[in-house]
Structure 1
Amino acid sequence: MGRIRTLTGEIEPHQLGFTYSHEHLVCRPPYWQEKGEDDLLLDDPEKTRSDLLEFQKGGGNSVVDATAVDYGRDVPAVVQLARETGLNILGTAGFNKSFLWTAPLKDDLKRLVGDYSTYEEWIVEATVEALTDFVVREVEVGLEGTPYRAGQVKFGTGYNRITPLEVKTIRAVARAHHVTRAPIHSHTEAGTMALEQLEILRQENVNPAFVSFGHMDRNPDPFYHEQIARTGAFLCFDGIAKIKYAPESTRIDCILGLVEKGYEDQILISGDTARKSYYKTYDHGLGLGYIINRWVPRFIDEAEQRGLDGERLVNKFFVENPARCFAFKD
């Protein structure tokens, strides 16, 4: 097992500690800016910092910032948060999903990839090889021209479909993985299309054990989850606290069901806290402290009611599994 790459340097896997595997810290997505969706603009680093400190006070050590280039990253701001808090924060290279790509390309990015007007124009006109080179550069040199290197690569697809442009980015990210040995993360819209994504990755000779699939709890289907788990991939249950999608009992039942089937080594947990209204300091939401301070005790209780060792499973999901998932592959 290789080392883990954070925005502030490389660490050994055992140094990662208690980890949220999919969050968003500071971002101004161009698509949502155009739409006037202020709730989706995490544009005040000091407010994010306050929530991070609550997570840290509860015993948290590390956060994976899953914000890709098309989702309006603010890399220097996130690096500053890592330095101010002492938390390990991992950055993300790659892409999200195609409906976001109608937004204008940032001027700073144009200087790196070419004078395209939108993300979509860039991805349409660039070759798979050029997109691969861009992702590799973000892992090996730095994100968006900064010296801060990514700790994982990412692709995404839409709800119940994969567009040709998304296929293109999946292939680019897969090929960048082979060059860099960085772990891969997948955005699945509402938890759909993971098996179809896996087929494209198979064509690119990617070992599913190097891949984590996000938003699995948005599609709380135990049969579907087991099909993904059988491949050896990680399943990220990253909608904790989002009761509008499902009660916590549903998520916990899906997680414990996978444990009882023998897949505890492939489960990751997080909150995908991507709105102001989810943050405590921004807009009185449950905040980044919720999972570690409130959800974990409930999970332990429910696990023990089913005859399982809840504390051991918490260590598995938040410490041991992330240490393996986010390590670069030897």
Structure 2
Amino acid sequence: MSAVRTVLGDVPAEQLGMCDAHDHLFFGSPRLPGQELRDVSAARAELAAFRALGGAAVVQWTPYGLGRRAADLPPLSRDTGVHVVAATGLHQAVHYDEETLGGLRGRLAEVFVAELTDGIGASGVRAGLVKVAGGFHALDAHARWTMTAAAEAHHATGAPIAVHLELGTAALDVLDLLCGELGVPPHRVVLGHLNRSPDPVVHRQAARAGCYLAFDGPSRAHHATDWRMPDAVRALAEAGFGDRLLLGGDTTTAAARSVNGGPGMPYLLRRVAPRLAVELGEDLVGRVLTENPRRAFAANWR
């Protein structure tokens, strides 16, 4: 049976509810010193604020080695009533030291599969997706290594693969590798950050391939994420790809949380969804927030 693998167990896809398809409760990278998401109380408050606006599910894209705090996710989900999906996977090489990467050589796919099926470390929490990352307009050796392992994990488990596109670029290179060379079905791939490179031709090509397109990141400055997104999303909907669209907040710093004065998770439902409803109509926006994530993140788990 098709189910979404949450931190509290597998949930029938139709029970997922209103979903933030790309966000972070916990995250820490040496590239963002002093801005880590580590506070459990703040994470709980953020989830509660999201829930108060009708939010029912959050997909956390924090991968291996970047402060997932997997053991803290189940009680947060129980306390707030919000489904939480955790990730395995690996980000760009710049987020890790050489010792960490060296320890994963020759066994990366094995680690991904174990975290999807047995659990993350000693937490017992199973990941529900694999998150990997491309580079700026290209895929380096690290990206090819991680995506090859992600494809192996998908073939072993059925897990969806979510991809960080650096500034929204290299979408077609990712699809050529994952779906072309490595045989991952396009509908098992979610491309993130497409709002950061508002190229309508590339967007249509990616959607036509059959993958999901995530427009995320209103918590970010300097990416024109809010004012360009309605046009990009409307163009895809008018071209017949409304069923390929996903929306997320991608909160990656403590300052961006709503409980700390930023937009945070609630902004997706408080401002982004109503703004898009003006362009697309409430019915389509509702389906983008509910039906599309059910299909994107559910799997027939093996």
TM-score bracket, normalised by the shorter chain, equals over 0.9
Cα displacement (A) at 1:21: 0.4
Cα displacement (A) at 1:247: 5.4
Letter in structure 2 aligned against 1:289: P
Cα displacement (A) at 1:5: 0.7
- Checking the alignment, whether the CA contact within 8 Å between 2:19 and 2:56 is kept in structure 1 is yes
Q: Does 1:301 align with 2:278?
A: yes
TM-score (norm 2): 0.95
- Checking the alignment, whether the CA contact within 8 Å between 2:24 and 2:60 is kept in structure 1 is yes
**Aligned equivalent of 2:54:** 59
What is the count of residue pairs matched by the alignment? 300
Cα displacement (A) at 1:72: 2.0
Q: Does 1:314 align with 2:285?
A: yes
Unaligned 5+ runs, structure 2: none
Q: Does 1:326 align with 2:287?
A: no
Cα displacement (A) at 1:118: 1.9
- For residues 197-218 of structure 1, give each alpha carbon's deviation from its aligned partner in whole angstroms, at most 9, with x where no partner exists: 1111121111111100011101
TM-score (norm 1): 0.87
**Aligned equivalent of 1:285:** 262
Letter in structure 2 aligned against 1:193: A
After superposition, residues 1-330 of structure 1 pair within 5 angstroms as 2-29=2-29, 31-32=30-31, 37-39=33-35, 41-102=36-97, 118-123=99-104, 126-127=105-106, 130-201=107-178, 202-246=180-224, 248-282=226-260, 284-303=261-280, 310-329=281-300
**Aligned equivalent of 1:105:** none
- For residues 61-112 of structure 1, give each alpha carbon's deviation from its aligned partner in whole angstroms, at most 9, with x where no partner exists: 000010001322111122221121121000001111121122xxxxxxxxxx
Unaligned 5+ runs, structure 1: 103-116, 304-309
- Checking the alignment, whether the CA contact within 8 Å between 2:23 and 2:58 is kept in structure 1 is yes
Corresponding residue SS for 1:63:
strand
**CA–CA distance in 2 between the matches of 1:209 and 1:253?**
24
**CA–CA distance in 2 between the matches of 1:80 and 1:194?**
36
**CA–CA distance in 1 between the matches of 2:195 and 2:9?**
31
- Checking the alignment, whether the CA contact within 8 Å between 1:98 and 1:158 is kept in structure 2 is no
Cα displacement (A) at 1:315: 1.6
Cα displacement (A) at 1:243: 4.9
**CA–CA distance in 2 between the matches of 1:136 and 1:287?**
31
Cα displacement (A) at 1:275: 1.0
Letter in structure 1 aligned against 2:64: V
**CA–CA distance in 2 between the matches of 1:200 and 1:295?**
32
Percent of aligned positions that are identical: 33
Corresponding residue SS for 2:112:
helix
Cα displacement (A) at 1:145: 3.2
Corresponding residue SS for 1:144:
coil
Corresponding residue SS for 1:272:
coil
- Checking the alignment, whether the CA contact within 8 Å between 2:138 and 2:173 is kept in structure 1 is no
**CA–CA distance in 1 between the matches of 2:190 and 2:149?**
17
Q: Which has the higher helix share?
A: 1
Structure 1's consecutive aligned runs of 4 or more residues displaced over 4 angstroms after TM superposition are: none
**CA–CA distance in 2 between the matches of 1:203 and 1:52?**
39
Cα displacement (A) at 1:270: 0.6
Letter in structure 2 aligned against 1:317: V
Letter in structure 2 aligned against 1:91: A
**CA–CA distance in 2 between the matches of 1:194 and 1:70?**
25
Corresponding residue SS for 1:70:
coil
Letter in structure 1 aligned against 2:113: V
Q: CA RMSD in A?
A: 1.5
> Greater CA radius of gyration, 1 or 2?
1
- For residues 92-138 of structure 1, give each alpha carbon's deviation from its aligned partner in whole angstroms, at most 9, with x where no partner exists: 01111121122xxxxxxxxxxxxxx6223234xx22xx211110000
Cα displacement (A) at 1:164: 1.0
